[in-house]
Amino acid sequence: MAIFSRGFVGRRSAADVKLPPGQYLTSDFPVLSAGPTPHVALDQWEFKVDDGTAVLRRWDWKSFRELPTENIRVDLHCVTRWSKLGTFWEGVSLDVLLAGVKTDSAYAMMRSYGDYTTNLPLKDLMNKQAWVAFKFDGADLAPEHGGPARLLVPHLYLWKSAKWVRGMTLMPRDRPGFWESLGYHMYGDPWQEQRYSGE
Protein backbone atom coordinates (compact mmCIF):
# COMPACT_ATOMS: atom_id res chain seq x y z
CA MET A 1 0.00 0.00 0.00
CA ALA A 2 1.31 3.39 -0.88
CA ILE A 3 1.79 5.92 1.88
CA PHE A 4 1.15 9.52 0.95
CA SER A 5 2.35 12.45 2.96
CA ARG A 6 -0.42 14.97 3.51
CA GLY A 7 1.07 17.66 1.30
CA PHE A 8 0.99 15.47 -1.75
CA VAL A 9 -2.55 14.11 -1.56
CA GLY A 10 -4.39 15.19 -4.67
CA ARG A 11 -1.28 16.74 -6.12
CA ARG A 12 1.40 15.50 -8.38
CA SER A 13 4.43 14.33 -6.45
CA ALA A 14 7.90 15.14 -7.70
CA ALA A 15 8.17 11.60 -9.08
CA ASP A 16 5.08 12.08 -11.29
CA VAL A 17 6.34 15.28 -12.79
CA LYS A 18 8.27 15.60 -15.98
CA LEU A 19 9.89 19.00 -16.09
CA PRO A 20 11.29 20.58 -19.23
CA PRO A 21 15.06 20.06 -19.50
CA GLY A 22 17.19 22.22 -17.22
CA GLN A 23 14.27 23.32 -15.01
CA TYR A 24 13.82 22.89 -11.25
CA LEU A 25 10.61 23.02 -9.21
CA THR A 26 9.71 25.94 -7.01
CA SER A 27 6.61 26.40 -4.88
CA ASP A 28 6.92 30.14 -4.33
CA PHE A 29 6.19 32.67 -7.07
CA PRO A 30 9.30 34.71 -7.93
CA VAL A 31 8.82 38.20 -9.34
CA LEU A 32 10.86 38.95 -12.47
CA SER A 33 10.46 42.40 -13.97
CA ALA A 34 12.85 44.27 -16.24
CA GLY A 35 11.77 47.64 -14.81
CA PRO A 36 9.53 49.23 -12.21
CA THR A 37 5.96 47.99 -11.76
CA PRO A 38 3.61 50.29 -13.68
CA HIS A 39 0.45 51.11 -11.73
CA VAL A 40 -2.50 51.29 -14.07
CA ALA A 41 -5.81 52.60 -12.73
CA LEU A 42 -8.75 50.52 -13.93
CA ASP A 43 -10.52 53.60 -15.34
CA GLN A 44 -7.40 54.28 -17.46
CA TRP A 45 -6.84 50.69 -18.51
CA GLU A 46 -7.50 49.54 -22.05
CA PHE A 47 -6.59 46.67 -24.34
CA LYS A 48 -6.31 47.21 -28.07
CA VAL A 49 -5.74 44.95 -31.04
CA ASP A 50 -4.21 46.77 -34.00
CA ASP A 51 -2.55 45.85 -37.28
CA GLY A 52 0.08 48.59 -37.16
CA THR A 53 -2.24 50.99 -38.98
CA ALA A 54 -5.77 50.65 -37.68
CA VAL A 55 -7.20 49.71 -34.28
CA LEU A 56 -9.26 46.57 -34.88
CA ARG A 57 -10.61 45.96 -31.36
CA ARG A 58 -10.65 47.97 -28.16
CA TRP A 59 -11.88 47.25 -24.63
CA ASP A 60 -11.91 49.35 -21.51
CA TRP A 61 -11.85 47.50 -18.18
CA LYS A 62 -15.64 47.39 -17.92
CA SER A 63 -16.21 45.94 -21.39
CA PHE A 64 -13.24 43.58 -20.98
CA ARG A 65 -14.70 42.20 -17.74
CA GLU A 66 -18.03 41.60 -19.47
CA LEU A 67 -16.35 39.08 -21.79
CA PRO A 68 -16.66 35.37 -20.99
CA THR A 69 -13.82 34.11 -18.78
CA GLU A 70 -12.14 30.76 -18.18
CA ASN A 71 -10.45 29.17 -15.20
CA ILE A 72 -7.02 27.91 -16.16
CA ARG A 73 -4.69 25.54 -14.30
CA VAL A 74 -1.25 25.49 -15.90
CA ASP A 75 2.46 24.93 -15.29
CA LEU A 76 4.83 27.89 -15.67
CA HIS A 77 8.42 27.64 -16.91
CA CYS A 78 10.80 30.58 -16.59
CA VAL A 79 13.95 30.79 -18.66
CA THR A 80 15.89 31.48 -15.41
CA ARG A 81 15.13 27.77 -14.73
CA TRP A 82 12.32 27.76 -12.19
CA SER A 83 9.09 25.98 -12.93
CA LYS A 84 5.90 26.31 -10.90
CA LEU A 85 3.25 23.64 -11.36
CA GLY A 86 -0.53 23.79 -11.29
CA THR A 87 -0.94 27.55 -11.04
CA PHE A 88 -4.57 28.71 -11.06
CA TRP A 89 -5.76 31.71 -13.06
CA GLU A 90 -8.88 33.36 -14.42
CA GLY A 91 -8.75 35.18 -17.71
CA VAL A 92 -10.24 35.90 -21.10
CA SER A 93 -9.09 33.59 -23.87
CA LEU A 94 -7.33 35.23 -26.82
CA ASP A 95 -9.82 33.22 -28.91
CA VAL A 96 -12.48 35.58 -27.52
CA LEU A 97 -10.38 38.71 -28.04
CA LEU A 98 -9.49 37.75 -31.62
CA ALA A 99 -12.91 36.40 -32.62
CA GLY A 100 -13.89 37.76 -36.02
CA VAL A 101 -10.56 39.56 -36.56
CA LYS A 102 -9.58 39.00 -40.19
CA THR A 103 -5.85 39.17 -40.84
CA ASP A 104 -3.13 37.76 -43.06
CA SER A 105 -0.57 38.45 -40.32
CA ALA A 106 1.10 35.39 -38.84
CA TYR A 107 2.74 37.13 -35.85
CA ALA A 108 1.85 39.45 -33.02
CA MET A 109 3.81 41.86 -30.85
CA MET A 110 2.36 41.99 -27.36
CA ARG A 111 2.69 45.43 -25.78
CA SER A 112 2.65 46.30 -22.09
CA TYR A 113 2.25 49.36 -19.90
CA GLY A 114 5.85 50.26 -19.12
CA ASP A 115 6.87 49.51 -22.72
CA TYR A 116 7.78 45.81 -22.46
CA THR A 117 7.13 43.92 -25.68
CA THR A 118 7.33 40.28 -26.74
CA ASN A 119 6.66 38.58 -30.07
CA LEU A 120 4.70 35.40 -30.75
CA PRO A 121 3.27 33.55 -33.72
CA LEU A 122 -0.46 34.26 -33.90
CA LYS A 123 -1.21 30.54 -33.99
CA ASP A 124 0.36 30.17 -30.51
CA LEU A 125 -2.15 32.69 -29.20
CA MET A 126 -5.19 30.83 -30.51
CA ASN A 127 -6.98 27.53 -29.83
CA LYS A 128 -7.02 27.77 -26.02
CA GLN A 129 -3.31 28.42 -25.66
CA ALA A 130 -3.29 32.01 -24.38
CA TRP A 131 -5.30 34.24 -22.06
CA VAL A 132 -5.35 37.78 -20.72
CA ALA A 133 -5.46 36.81 -17.05
CA PHE A 134 -6.67 39.06 -14.24
CA LYS A 135 -6.96 36.69 -11.27
CA PHE A 136 -4.40 34.40 -9.67
CA ASP A 137 -5.48 31.88 -7.01
CA GLY A 138 -8.92 33.48 -6.90
CA ALA A 139 -7.71 37.00 -6.07
CA ASP A 140 -7.10 40.07 -8.21
CA LEU A 141 -3.72 39.69 -9.88
CA ALA A 142 -1.09 41.52 -7.80
CA PRO A 143 0.63 44.46 -9.52
CA GLU A 144 4.08 42.85 -9.31
CA HIS A 145 2.75 39.78 -11.15
CA GLY A 146 1.19 41.89 -13.91
CA GLY A 147 -2.07 43.21 -12.49
CA PRO A 148 -4.53 44.46 -13.55
CA ALA A 149 -4.01 41.94 -16.36
CA ARG A 150 -1.23 39.96 -18.00
CA LEU A 151 -0.84 37.66 -20.93
CA LEU A 152 -0.60 33.97 -20.00
CA VAL A 153 0.98 31.69 -22.63
CA PRO A 154 2.02 28.70 -20.53
CA HIS A 155 3.39 26.50 -23.33
CA LEU A 156 6.24 28.99 -23.92
CA TYR A 157 8.86 30.34 -21.48
CA LEU A 158 7.30 32.84 -19.12
CA TRP A 159 8.97 35.93 -20.62
CA LYS A 160 6.36 35.57 -23.41
CA SER A 161 3.61 36.10 -20.80
CA ALA A 162 3.70 39.89 -20.86
CA LYS A 163 2.73 41.48 -17.55
CA TRP A 164 0.59 44.69 -17.56
CA VAL A 165 -0.46 43.89 -21.10
CA ARG A 166 -2.13 46.76 -22.97
CA GLY A 167 -2.51 45.42 -26.46
CA MET A 168 -1.18 43.55 -29.43
CA THR A 169 -0.04 44.53 -32.89
CA LEU A 170 -0.55 42.01 -35.67
CA MET A 171 2.55 41.73 -37.90
CA PRO A 172 3.08 40.06 -41.26
CA ARG A 173 6.67 39.12 -40.30
CA ASP A 174 8.25 38.09 -37.01
CA ARG A 175 10.14 40.83 -35.18
CA PRO A 176 11.95 40.64 -31.84
CA GLY A 177 10.43 42.10 -28.68
CA PHE A 178 12.33 43.35 -25.62
CA TRP A 179 14.16 40.19 -24.47
CA GLU A 180 14.33 38.75 -27.98
CA SER A 181 16.31 41.85 -29.08
CA LEU A 182 18.73 41.10 -26.23
CA GLY A 183 19.34 37.54 -27.39
CA TYR A 184 16.44 35.49 -26.07
CA HIS A 185 14.99 32.97 -28.49
CA MET A 186 12.36 34.20 -30.97
CA TYR A 187 9.99 31.34 -30.05
CA GLY A 188 10.98 30.03 -26.59
CA ASP A 189 9.69 26.45 -26.31
CA PRO A 190 10.77 25.15 -22.86
CA TRP A 191 10.55 21.49 -24.00
CA GLN A 192 13.04 22.25 -26.79
CA GLU A 193 15.07 24.36 -24.36
CA GLN A 194 14.92 27.36 -26.70
CA ARG A 195 16.39 29.83 -24.21
CA TYR A 196 18.63 32.01 -26.37
CA SER A 197 18.82 32.59 -30.09
CA GLY A 198 21.20 30.13 -31.67
CA GLU A 199 20.00 27.31 -29.37
Ligand X SMILES: Nc1nc2c(c(=O)[nH]1)N[C@H]1C(S)=C(S)[C@@H](COP(=O)(O)O)O[C@H]1N2
Binding footprint of Mo ion on the chain (CB under 5 A): 32, 78-79, 159
CB of 181 to ligand X, least distance (A): 13
Alpha carbon separation from 53 to 49, 104, 170 (Å, rounded): 11, 14, 10
114 binds, among ligand X, Mo ion, none (CB under 5 to 8 A by kind): ligand X
Query: Of residues 26-65, which lie at the interface with ligand X (CB under 6 A)?
Result: 29-34
DSSP 19: P
**Residue 93 binds ligand X (CB under 6 A):** no
Secondary structure (3-state) at 24? strand
The letter for the amino acid at 47 is F
The b/e string for 101-115 (b: 16+ C-beta within 10 A; e otherwise) is eeeeeebbbbbbbbe
Determine the size of the site formed for ligand X (CB under 6 A).
18
55 binds, among Mo ion, ligand X, none (CB under 5 to 8 A by kind): none
Query: Of residues 128-167, which lie at the interface with ligand X (CB under 6 A)?
Result: 145-146, 158-159, 161-164
The letter for the amino acid at 154 is P
Which residues lie near ligand X (CB under 6 A)?
29-34, 78, 112, 114, 116, 145-146, 158-159, 161-164
